[in-house]
């Protein structure tokens, strides 16, 4: 992700920011977003990021709400996208390199676009 896109995310998702209390300092907004992106980008298991689970939940909820507002704004009010599913395949020998994923097997990434309801 580019720095510009990261800055856009930080500007649009300000509602997941927290305030310091008398007991402790909060995790800054930029760091909260970076933690969530790391957890999502590296397919970290929830037990791996267990102590940071609320950050990930807050981030996902804020992105979902932002996407709904954005879809309404550009004319697709009830449309959501989903990415993150690998479908195992057996590629031809000429295409084998293109389909080898980071988990060590051949797959194709599924991208689906669905109705909100």
Segments making up each domain of the chain, as ranges: 1-77, 78-117
Binned at pLDDT 50, 70 and 90, residue 80 comes out as low
Binned at pLDDT 50, 70 and 90, residue 47 comes out as low
Q: What are 23's two structure tokens? A: 């007991």
45-71 mean pLDDT: 74
HEC assignment per residue over 82-97? EEEEEEECCCCCCCHH
Task: Identify whether the C-beta of residue 81 lies closer than 8 Å to the C-beta of residue 57.
Answer: no
Whether pLDDT at 106 is above 60: yes
Using a 10 angstrom Cβ sphere, with 0-12 exposed, 13-18 middle and 19 or more buried, the burial of residue 10 is: middle
**Whole-number pLDDT of residue 63:** 83
Binned at pLDDT 50, 70 and 90, residue 116 comes out as low
CA distance 61 to 63: 6
pTM: predicted TM-score of the whole model, two decimal places: 0.50
């Amino acid at each position: 992700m580019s720095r510009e896109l990261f800055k856009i995310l930080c500007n649009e998702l300000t509602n997941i920011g927290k305030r310091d209390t008398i007991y402790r300092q909060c995790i800054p907004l930029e760091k909260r977003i970076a933690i969530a992106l790391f957890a999502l980008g590296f397919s970290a298991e929830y037990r791996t990021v267990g102590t940071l689970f609320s950050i990930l939940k807050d981030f996902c909820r804020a992105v979902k709400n932002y996407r709904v507002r954005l879809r309404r704004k550009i004319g697709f009010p009830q449309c959501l996208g989903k990415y993150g599913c690998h479908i195992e395949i057996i590629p031809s020998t000429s295409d084998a390199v293109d389909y080898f994923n980071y988990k060590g097997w051949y797959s194709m990434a599924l991208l689906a676009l669905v109705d909100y309801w």
